[in-house]
């Protein structure tokens, strides 16, 4: 069996909101390593497309940045900015054995167990549950999931797992303070996914693809810190790709870090979508909280340029409601 996994993040650079790092794991019955990565978009073409413009009713799986619309039409849920992103995430989630979640809390409990224990400490992630789906019809999503499930079955591909780690602003600041840089904090979450894959699937020699972490080209040292007892062999360290083989007792894992991984590896694209969807859902809660305090306040996506505008407009709210700045604003 080939275990083929992808890892990607969302929210690396913002001032507000969580950092989310997601992992998608698919399983195929056999693999010819010399043939390269499985061509899953082709194998699943009856149900899955790579671009919105050529989808023709199929589920689009691609880099999440290409799927979010810039504005919503309040009278047409299908034009919700998260409609495409949500459709793919929830259809695949049903294929890994979960039901289509009816709320944001149910979603996060399904794919990020334990996350609410930290998130609910912050008032801006509190309040009533957000009903899901946001921009899709639940009945149509079940049909989408059935079509996708049949395509996976025909291609002999198993949807094994979808998981996401989410750090609140306070957790992010604490992690950066502990490991000194936000890149190290992000890589720690990547490492948690790698450790879980090695633990569950290591006997099958999983192949894991990770979107390259910034400009870093060499990963042997941080991988050795994650797996201190493993033997790590460098397979490639080039401008566009870094590849390593880890051996730990009878288990092995090959990890590839590459640029624009979501364009060539469907599990990375799916992980990108999951990470983005979780972050966006939590940002809806975030903006809902501040809108209740100041209804005329324009919502923010949390990224630096607009984040500065947002921070300036809530400075008095931070003071009057005694909101802990070190738990609200990310340190870097």
Per mean pLDDT, which range of 49-53, 65-69, 138-142, 305-309 is the poorest?
65-69
Residue 325, SS3 per DSSP: helix
- What are the backbone dihedrals phi and psi of residue 169, each rounded to the nearest 5 degrees, phi first? -60, -40
Predicted local confidence at residue 140, as pLDDT: 94
Mean pLDDT (whole number) for 286-301:
97
On the question of pLDDT at 33 being above 60, the answer is no
pLDDT tens figures, 35-50: 568 899 999 999 999 9
Which structure tokens are listed for 36? 């390269």
Cα–Cα distance, 180 to 270 (Å, whole number): 30
CA nearest to 167, candidates 150, 145, 182: 182
Name the band, by pLDDT with cuts 50, 70 and 90, for residue 144. Answer: very high
On the question of pLDDT at 213 being above 90, the answer is no
- What are the backbone dihedrals phi and psi of residue 16, each rounded to the nearest 5 degrees, phi first? -125, 155
Predicted local confidence at residue 274, as pLDDT: 97
On the question of pLDDT at 291 being above 60, the answer is yes
User: CA angle, corner 115, sides to 195 and 253, nearest 5?
Assistant: 10
pLDDT tens figures, 214-233: 778 899 999 999 999 999 99
Name the band, by pLDDT with cuts 50, 70 and 90, for residue 31. Answer: low
More confident residue, 211 or 269: 269
Predicted local confidence at residue 123, as pLDDT: 97
Predicted local confidence at residue 76, as pLDDT: 59
Residue 273, SS3 per DSSP: helix
Query: Half-sphere exposure (CA, 13 Å, Cβ side) for 192?
Result: 17
Please state the separation of Cα 234 from the chain's center in Å: 27
On the question of pLDDT at 240 being above 90, the answer is no
Query: Half-sphere exposure (CA, 13 Å, Cβ side) for 205?
Result: 11
Report all structural domains of the chain as residue ranges with CATH numbers, in order of start: 2-328 (3.30.420.10)
Predicted local confidence at residue 173, as pLDDT: 96
Mean pLDDT (whole number) for 281-304:
97
Beta bridge partners of 257: 210, 242
Cα–Cα distance, 277 to 261 (Å, whole number): 18
CA nearest to 314, candidates 14, 11, 15, 13: 15
pLDDT tens figures, 60-95: 999 998 998 766 554 556 678 999 999 999 999 999
Predicted local confidence at residue 110, as pLDDT: 92
Predicted local confidence at residue 207, as pLDDT: 96
Name the band, by pLDDT with cuts 50, 70 and 90, for residue 313. Answer: very high
Predicted local confidence at residue 216, as pLDDT: 81
Model confidence, pTM: 0.95
Tell which phi-psi region holds residue 53, choosing left (phi > 0), alpha (psi between -120 and 50) or beta: alpha
Name the band, by pLDDT with cuts 50, 70 and 90, for residue 19. Answer: very high
Asked if residues 234 and 220 have their Cβ atoms less than 8 Å apart, the reply is yes
Predicted local confidence at residue 74, as pLDDT: 46
Q: How far is CA 172 from each of CA 169, 185, 277, 301, rounded to the nearest angstrom?
A: 5, 7, 19, 17
As a whole number, the mean pLDDT across the chain is 92
- What are the backbone dihedrals phi and psi of residue 304, each rounded to the nearest 5 degrees, phi first? -55, -50
Predicted local confidence at residue 3, as pLDDT: 95
On the question of pLDDT at 34 being above 60, the answer is no
């Amino acid at each position: 069996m080939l275990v083929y996994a992808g890892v990607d993040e969302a929210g690396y650079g913002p001032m507000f909101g969580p950092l989310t790092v997601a992992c998608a794991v698919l399983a195929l019955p056999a693999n010819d390593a010399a043939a390269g990565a499985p061509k899953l978009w082709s194998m699943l073409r009856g149900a899955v497309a790579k671009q919105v413009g050529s989808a023709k009713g199929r589920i689009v799986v691609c880099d999440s940045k290409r799927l979010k619309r810039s504005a919503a039409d309040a009278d047409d849920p299908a034009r919700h900015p998260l409609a495409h992103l949500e459709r793919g995430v929830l259809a695949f989630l049903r294929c890994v054995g979960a039901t289509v979640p009816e709320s944001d809390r149910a979603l996060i409990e399904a794919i990020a167990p334990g996350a609410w224990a930290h998130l609910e400490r912050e008032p801006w992630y509190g309040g009533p549950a957000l009903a899901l789906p946001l921009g899709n019809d639940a009945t149509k999503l079940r049909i989408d999931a059935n079509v996708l499930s049949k395509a996976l079955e025909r291609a002999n591909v198993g949807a094994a797992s979808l998981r996401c780690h989410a750090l609140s602003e306070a957790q992010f600041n604490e992690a950066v303070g502990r490991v000194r840089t936000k890149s190290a904090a992000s890589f720690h979450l990547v490492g948690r996914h790698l450790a879980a894959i090695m633990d569950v699937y290591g006997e099958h020699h999983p192949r894991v693809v990770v979107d390259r972490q910034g400009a870093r080209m060499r990963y042997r040292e941080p991988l050795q810190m994650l797996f201190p007892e493993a033997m790590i062999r460098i397979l490639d360290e080039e401008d566009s790709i870094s590849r390593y083989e880890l051996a730990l007792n009878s288990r092995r894992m090959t990890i590839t870090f590459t640029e624009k991984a979501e364009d060539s590896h469907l599990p990375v694209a799916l992980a990108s979508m999951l990470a983005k969807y979780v972050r966006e859902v939590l940002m809806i809660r975030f903006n809902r909280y501040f809108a209740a305090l100041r209804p005329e306040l324009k919502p923010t996506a949390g990224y630096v340029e607009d984040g500065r505008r947002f921070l300036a407009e809530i400075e008095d709210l931070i003071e009057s409601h005694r909101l802990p700045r070190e738990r609200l604003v990310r340190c870097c």
